[in-house]
Chain A
Amino acid sequence: MMRIVLCVVYLIAAPFVGCLLDGCDRKITARMQGRQGPSVYQPWWDLQKLLAKERLMVNPSQFYLMASYTVFVVISGALFFCGSDLLLVFFALTTSEMFMVLAASTTSSPYSSMGANRELIQMTSSEPMVLLTAVGLYLATGTFSVAETAAMGGLPIICKLPGFFIGFVFILTIKMRKSPFDVSTSHHAHQEMVKGVTTEMSGATLACETIANWYEHVMLMGIIGLFCLNGTVWSMLLAIVVALAVYFLEVLIDNTSARVKWQTMFKLAWGVTIVCAGVNLFVLQMLR
């Protein structure tokens, strides 16, 4: 029952929370750069505008593929918050990203296709760490179920999984398209690939992408929070604090690191995965 409530709350509240996080992101970014910055409601206004604008069609398939992407992100988020199997959540998330890649490459447009290729490299870079995160949580708790993991007593699992946590935060930078790893597209006005995967998207199609991002960000923060939960109330507070701290960290990384090339991203992501998660995994297996 609790699970269903949580799931429904996620479905309704996630876009607003995500939107607000996004707004804070832009505000904090502006302050870091010594600017006043937009209102925290700016992302909401952007979304409204996108929905109000004329519908353009570069390609008949693009819109429904993007809409499918959004729905699948929402489904994977819902699966996560109703406490189902973590691997299942990640697989559903991967499927959703697949739709995004297809939406970008179906246009046969040069910038969009290049963006799609880079998106695939991004997925390849982060996928091992994503899967290993699930494995790590299993080793720490003996279950893949999110609900059981969250209710597990004892020390928060982050104590057992510091390597996994670092690795996951590292690839979070890729997943959230922050500056260093914004190789396929970014929410900034970097113009290397024009707008990468979203180049050919306008109006409602782009709005789909924005909404999906909000849902996804909330879910990713939920996974960060999961590292800290142990069934008690204070751990929930801790989870929220840690998630916000990680979000702030990502904004900081965004503003302090220039973009890196995809080659570096790939090497770094796999390297960090092997070193942090691999070593942690090995240690956990030895302690079993």
Chain B
Amino acid sequence: MKLSRSPWLIHYDCSSCNGCDIEVLAATMPRYDVERFGIINTGDPMHADILLTTGGCNHQNAPVLKQIYEQMPNPKVVVAVGTCACTGGVFKDCYNILGGTDTVIPVDVYVTGCAARPESIIDGVVQALAILDQKYEAYTTDPKAKEGN
């Protein structure tokens, strides 16, 4: 049983300039055909396995991101897309910015770029799939992993 055969995405825009958002959407368009990996963009955390985040986290959206993350059933992975999502990027020192996605929730894959290219986003997601399988193994064997990770 491999979870990676059916990874469903949810995409959350923390405070991106929309550059990475457009690239994420572009990557899920027919042009790149991510459905051949079974990837579906669901838009609903309850259905999703992979969370794509774009933009740096700020005080207002940190709880939102956290809530969405908690609403995803385990095992799940997080992919930070774009430089801002990885580190906060050029906005890092702004008064309202906490930093990258990993200041709020654990991140598994970092995809850099400003904006990140669709190819690298897809590559990041495919890397996330391997992690998803590892996490599932841990989830089925280790009861502690069930508590949440």
A binding-site residues for B, Cβ under 8 Å: 26, 30, 33-39, 42, 45-46, 48-49, 52-56, 58, 189, 191, 194-195, 198-203, 206
Instruction: Tell me how far the C-beta of B27 lies from the nearest C-beta in chain A, rounded to whole angstroms.
Output: 13
Residues B40 and A189 in contact, CB atoms below 8 Å apart: yes
Q: Is B75 an interface residue (CB 8 A)?
A: yes
Which residues in B have their C-beta under 8 angstroms from that of A189? 28, 40-43
Which residues in B have their C-beta under 8 angstroms from that of A45? 5-6, 38
Which residues in A have their C-beta under 8 angstroms from that of B44? 194-195, 198-199
State whether A49 and B49 are in contact (beta carbons under 8 Å apart), knowing that A30-B35, A36-B33, A189-B40 are contacts in the complex.
yes
A39 to B39, CA, bound (A): 12
Residues A38 and B42 in contact, CB atoms below 8 Å apart: no
Q: Is B110 an interface residue (CB 8 A)?
A: no
Q: Is B144 an interface residue (CB 8 A)?
A: no
Which residues in B have their C-beta under 8 angstroms from that of A38? 35-38
Instruction: Tell me how far the C-beta of A191 lies from the nearest C-beta in chain B, rounded to whole angstroms.
Output: 4
State whether A199 and B46 are in contact (beta carbons under 8 Å apart), knowing that A49-B3, A53-B73, A54-B146 are contacts in the complex.
yes
Which residues in B have their C-beta under 8 angstroms from that of A199? 44, 46
Residues B73 and A203 in contact, CB atoms below 8 Å apart: yes
Which residues in B have their C-beta under 8 angstroms from that of A201? 46-47
A198 to B5, CA, bound (A): 22
A53 to B136, CA, bound (A): 9
Which residues in B have their C-beta under 8 angstroms from that of A34? 30
Question: Which B-chain residue is minimally distant from A35 (CB atoms)?
Answer: B33
Instruction: Tell me how far the C-beta of B84 lies from the nearest C-beta in chain A, rounded to whole angstroms.
Output: 23
Instruction: Tell me how far the C-beta of A57 lies from the nearest C-beta in chain B, rounded to whole angstroms.
Output: 10
Which of A37, A55, A58 sits near B35, CB closer than 8 Å?
A37
Question: Which A-chain residue is minimally distant from B40 (CB atoms)?
Answer: A189
What 5 A-B pairs come out closest when comparing CB atoms?
A: A202-B46, A54-B74, A35-B33, A54-B73, A45-B5
Q: Is B1 an interface residue (CB 8 A)?
A: yes
Which residues in A have their C-beta under 8 angstroms from that of B33? 30, 35-37
17 A-B pairs (CB sep. < 8 Å): A37-B33, A37-B35, A45-B5, A48-B5, A49-B5, A52-B3, A53-B74, A54-B139, A189-B41, A189-B43, A191-B43, A195-B43, A195-B47, A198-B47, A201-B46, A201-B47, A202-B47
Instruction: Tell me how far the C-beta of A239 lies from the nearest C-beta in chain B, rounded to whole angstroms.
Output: 31
A202 to B42, CA, bound (A): 12
- List residues of B (1-57) whose CB comes within 8 Å of A's CBs: 1, 3, 5-6, 28, 30, 33, 35-38, 40-44, 46-47, 49
A286 to B33, CA, bound (A): 54
A195 to B71, CA, bound (A): 14
State whether A42 and B38 are in contact (beta carbons under 8 Å apart), knowing that A33-B30, A48-B6, A201-B46 are contacts in the complex.
yes
A238 to B139, CA, bound (A): 49
A199 to B136, CA, bound (A): 23
